[in-house]
Amino acid sequence: MGKKGLFLVGAALFAAGVISCGGGGGGSSSDNNSSSNGGATTGRTVEGGVYSSVVANATVCLEDNQGNILLYDNGTQACAQTDANGTFSLAVPPNTDLNDTLVALYVYDQNGEPIKIGETAYTNTVVNATANLIAVTPLALADNDTALADDIGASIHALGGDLNGNATLVDMGQVDIESVELVNNGTTEPITDTDKPIEYYLKEKHHLEIKAKHKKLGTLILDINPTNATAPVTCKVDKNHDGKPDEIKHLRYDVHKKKQEWEKHIKELELEWEKHHHNGTMGHNEGENENGTQSHNGTMGHNETYEYEQEPKDYSYIISGEIIAKEIPKDLKIRITPDVEQVDGEWGGIVCKINPDGSFGDKCVLHGNIKNFNNQHQFQIIIFQDLNNDWRFNKDEENTVIWSEENAPYDSWKKIEIN
């Protein structure tokens, strides 16, 4: 079983492999028909959303009733990351009784290690039992304790950089947590009981201080005090990283008001599931969809719909990273392909331009399904020169590859060093 707790330590090793290309970015592939996570599953899938408002780039995991993350047969954890709409899809491991399972919500610290926000019984999250459709909300994580749900919701919004508590989208991918400490008599001390989620400390009325780096706001110091009814969460913002707060905000969260917003999203979830169940594919039928891109009902290993975009878009909310190299050649791009989209002759994935400073994610062309970028998959990563400037990796560009990796874990592209 995976280790439970506030801090979860895990590692995955890269395995060297053969670069694949051709067919407009396709090439040889492995058989992924059993499941998208690479290990045997029951064939069941849990789908859902995370809502305090829409919560993007948070991680949802299935756990046993002791709080241990469930594993697939290949040792991969049963976790998935939410997309820009707060939604996720998660294969159910073999021999899993969902009625005796927990659902947990995680974010990440600066070292890429998960921190558990909270957990609750799977049955508390169910929206549609027939569809295995769930919604992870502050109220569900609080086991319907509204006061606790207010504190959980305020904490999620503060961590996501929403200092007013009223944003309709909270992006957890923008924050790297540095520390979570208890506050006693004005002094901080490390948490010793690391098996407990943040929700536990809020429920027990413990005073917490969370330090984090937000990509847009700067350094955040969150003072979370459930005993303070007027301002349970105080956010100090240090934009210049000089130890002097430039802004102080007192954040309150009203679960009763936000619940109306959740219910709207949950209804949309149900309608999307019904459309998926009726048509046999998630997304749109072949032809042009509402955002103007071409949609094609290719299999991608799982009869998923994938899109062919014409112009680069900003995908930094879910794909971002940094290439460290002495020099960044002109037209250098990175292609990241989930295992389920490595289909002969028609690879999916995403291709991003690497900027002169080595960063990427703000200019990308998606050839697959963004929902496949999660912890359930392994990825092929190729850094190459796009000689044809067509945002694809073609056969005539094989000799331009300067770095590649096969079977890489999710988010391993965050920092790549090239000698």
Give tens-digit pLDDT for 115-156. Answer: 999 999 999 999 988 888 999 999 999 999 999 999 999 999
144 within 8 A of 57, measured Cβ to Cβ? no
pLDDT surpasses 80 at 401: yes
pLDDT surpasses 90 at 97: yes
Mean pLDDT, residues 302-312 taken together: 55
Distance CA 131, CA 274 (A): 9
Higher-pLDDT residue of 14 and 396 is 396
pLDDT surpasses 60 at 26: no
pLDDT surpasses 90 at 261: no
Residue 241's beta-bridge partner residues? Answer: none
How much of the chain exceeds pLDDT 90, in percent?
42
State residue 293's pLDDT score.
33
pLDDT surpasses 70 at 92: yes
Distance CA 26, CA 345 (A): 4
State residue 365's pLDDT score.
92
Question: φ, ψ for residue 175 (rounded to 5)?
Answer: -125, 140
Kind plus residue range of the DSSP H or E element containing 270: helix 255-279
- Taking residue 71's Cβ as centre, other Cβ atoms within 10 Å add up to 18
Mean pLDDT, residues 91-117 taken together: 90
3-class DSSP state for residue 278? helix
| CB-count burial class (<10 Å; 0-12, 13-18, 19+) for 417 | exposed
Distance CA 199, CA 151 (A): 9
pLDDT (tens digit per residue) in 337-371: 999 888 776 788 999 999 999 999 889 998 888 77
Residue 388's beta-bridge partner residues? Answer: none
Question: Beta strands 169-171 and 54-56: pairing type?
Answer: parallel
Would you list the DSSP string of 323-364? Answer: EE-S---TTEEEEEEEGGG--TT----EEEEPPTTSEESSSE
Structural tokens at position 256: 């009763």
State residue 20's pLDDT score.
38
Query: Across all residues in the chain, what is the average pLDDT?
Result: 80
CA distances from 195 to 4, 56, 373, 393, 402 (A): 6, 25, 28, 45, 42
Mean pLDDT, residues 161-181 taken together: 88
State residue 240's pLDDT score.
76
pLDDT (tens digit per residue) in 231-260: 789 999 888 777 777 788 888 888 888 888
Tell which residue, 254, 47, 264, has the closest CA to residue 152: 254
State residue 215's pLDDT score.
86
Give the confidence band of 309 by pLDDT, cuts at 50, 70, 90.
low
pLDDT surpasses 60 at 44: yes
State residue 381's pLDDT score.
96
Higher-pLDDT residue of 151 and 316 is 151
State residue 6's pLDDT score.
54
Give the confidence band of 191 by pLDDT, cuts at 50, 70, 90.
confident
Kind plus residue range of the DSSP H or E element containing 190: strand 187-190
Give the confidence band of 299 by pLDDT, cuts at 50, 70, 90.
very low
Structural tokens at position 238: 């240090």
* Full-model pTM: 0.61
Radius of gyration of the chain (CA): 21
pLDDT surpasses 80 at 311: yes
